[in-house]
């Protein structure tokens, strides 16, 4: 996580504490992304390649994108994003494993080109 901007190290430490416990439960991460012009969201080659590698990476750690949706605008507040994604991980450790999984390096390379800004929010597990 050290290579990502604006990492909240206390949150990562909490993930590590939970991952090391007997109560390492599944987790939902809400990703709010604004993409670069080069990504040409939502139909650009860079965006599509980034999504393909992200999907492969998530599969490697047992996670999956539950949903992703285009954001049409901000009704309250000032956050300017293009897309919201709900990403499920089977454990907190699985989320931490994203940084060392086989596709991590390629994912981070594409992320640096495609994602202008991202906020990740740790949420309660998703129940349908």
Q: Is the peptide bond before 93 cis (omega within 30 degrees of 0)?
A: no
pTM of the full structure = 0.91
For the chain, which domains are there?
9-123 (3.30.70.100)
Query: What is the C-alpha separation between 113 and 1, in angstroms, rounded?
Result: 17
pLDDT tens, residue by residue, 70-87: 999 999 999 999 999 999
pLDDT tens, residue by residue, 79-111: 999 999 999 999 999 999 999 999 999 999 999
């Amino acid at each position: 996580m050290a290579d990502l901007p604006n990492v909240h190290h206390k949150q990562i430490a909490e993930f590590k504490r939970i991952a090391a416990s007997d109560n390492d439960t599944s987790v939902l991460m809400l990703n709010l992304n604004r993409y670069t012009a080069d990504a040409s969201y939502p139909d650009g080659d860079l965006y599509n390649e980034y999504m393909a590698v992200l999907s492969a990476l998530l599969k490697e750690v047992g996670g999956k994108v539950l949903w992703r949706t285009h954001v049409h605008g901000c009704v309250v507040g000032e956050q300017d994003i293009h897309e919201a994604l709900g990403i499920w991980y089977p454990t907190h450790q699985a989320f931490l494993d994203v940084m060392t999984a086989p596709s991590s390096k390629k994912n981070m390379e594409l992320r640096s080109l495609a994602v202008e800004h991202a906020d990740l929010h740790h949420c309660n597990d998703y129940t349908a």
